Amino acid sequence: MNSSNNWLLLVLTLPTDNATARMRFWRALKARGCAVLRDGVYLLPATDAAEAELLELGSSIGEAGGAAHLIRAPSRGADQEAEFRSLFDRADEYAAFIRALADARKTLSSLSPTEIARLLRRTGKDFEAISGIDFFRNEASTRAEAAWQDFVALANTILSPGEPHQVEGAIPKLRREDYHGRIWATRQRLWVDRVASAWLIRRFVDSEARFLWLSSPDECPPDALGFDFDGAAFSHVGERVTFEVLVASFGLMDQPGLLKLGTLVHALDIGGEVVPEAIGFEAVMTGAKARALTDDALLAEMSNVLDSLLAHFAATEKTDAGKRQ
């Protein structure tokens, strides 16, 4: 970023008779990561996006009774470039973030699933707030990102103990008629991939499926078809989560809306392409778990949600296909 050593200088006078407006503009400058050169002079690395934001902010300042001028200028030399870059060092902010994660880790195991989900969202926003204005990444940002990923992994382990590891290999093609009336088993305290996989099994593979919710994968009976744990008949393969493996195994890729639903499950389980509907699904799932439903009741309730999401994605696919014709 800023390879041409260009900088944006915003020279402003805030309205003196409107304390609320002044506070709003100060917060806006801070949120954009502006460095303070002196009173009324703010600095940002020059990008088209930053220039558009500062021009818009300058207009708002003028409308509120202040004044603002935006200047684009290069560094005078290597020394000034280094001095300006040092103003954007986020090492202290990252260090404080890592300390906060360390404190949170101490209480993580005592929190409810709802509290853990809330903590993940809050700390995720804290990390994004820093990294979003970290214009010159360095070792501090690498350490903070690693700490954040470790924290997320720990939280997911507590939420879903026994989370499977991915394995490499081909996904065999199976006939649905060979899997009717079977016993299917997975880890108890269902979360996204497991509840969606159980729904998929009953909806598209085995309408007479009976489910066992295991306190440990070791308890899986030999005659049961395990899913979503290490050593199970169906689990993560390569980059695919269990839901996606089931879709591929039973040739369900052409089912309208199902691949998009798989993208949502993938994003919530291990990250990936952002699906707008994922936020709502996670909120409903978190709320259902907070009500201390049994796994059978949770599957029944979330099956209705998954039915609706599938219908939504199928309708969206049809509309998009019509637009392309």
6 close to 135: Cβ distance less than 8 angstroms:
no
Give the tokens for residue 292.
Answer: 């201390």
Look at residue 161 in the predicted model and tell me its pLDDT. 65
Query: Could you say which of 86, 113, 128 is where a domain stops?
Result: 86
Q: What is the pLDDT of residues 290-322, one digit of tens each?
A: 887 899 999 999 999 999 999 999 999 888 777
* Number of folded domains that form the chain: 3
- pLDDT confidence bin for 5, thresholds 50/70/90: low
Domain housing 215:
176-324
Question: Are residue 63 and residue 152 in the same domain, yes or no?
Answer: no
Query: Which stretch of 128-137, 162-171, 247-256 has the lowest confidence by average pLDDT?
Result: 162-171
What one-character DSSP code corresponds to residue 37? E
Question: Are residue 182 and residue 291 in the same domain, yes or no?
Answer: yes
Q: Is residue 243 part of a domain?
A: yes
Query: Could you say which of 52, 86, 120 is where a domain stops?
Result: 86
Q: Is residue 232 part of a domain?
A: yes
Cα separation of 317 and 191, whole Å?
A: 26
What is the domain-level CATH number for residue 79? 3.30.70.240
pLDDT higher than 80, residue 240: yes
Average pLDDT over residues 178-187: 96
Question: Are residue 221 and residue 258 in the same domain, yes or no?
Answer: yes
Cα separation of 93 and 27, whole Å?
A: 17
> Cα–Cα distances in Å, from 238 out to 171, 198, 235?
10, 20, 10
Summary mean pLDDT of the chain: 90
Which residues have C-beta within 8 Å of that of residue 317, sequence separation ≥ 6? 256, 257, 260
Is the C-alpha dihedral spanning 68, 72, 76, 78 positive or negative? positive
User: The pTM is what?
Assistant: 0.56
DSSP 262-305: HHHHHHHHH--S--THHHHHHHHHHHHHHTT--HHHHHHHHHHH
Question: Are residue 50 and residue 152 in the same domain, yes or no?
Answer: no
Cα separation of 237 and 247, whole Å?
A: 12
Question: Are residue 195 and residue 263 in the same domain, yes or no?
Answer: yes
Q: Is residue 181 part of a domain?
A: yes
Question: Are residue 198 and residue 302 in the same domain, yes or no?
Answer: yes
Q: Is residue 63 part of a domain?
A: yes
> Cα–Cα distances in Å, from 174 out to 168, 179, 247, 249?
18, 9, 10, 6
Question: Are residue 188 and residue 213 in the same domain, yes or no?
Answer: yes
Q: What is the pLDDT of residues 148-172, one digit of tens each?
A: 888 887 887 777 666 777 788 889 9
Structure-model confidence comparison of residues 264 and 149, the more confident one:
264
Query: Could you say which of 107, 132, 159 is where a domain stops?
Result: 159
The secondary element (H helix, E strand) that includes residue 46 is none
122: phi then psi, degrees, rounded to nearest 5: -65, -50
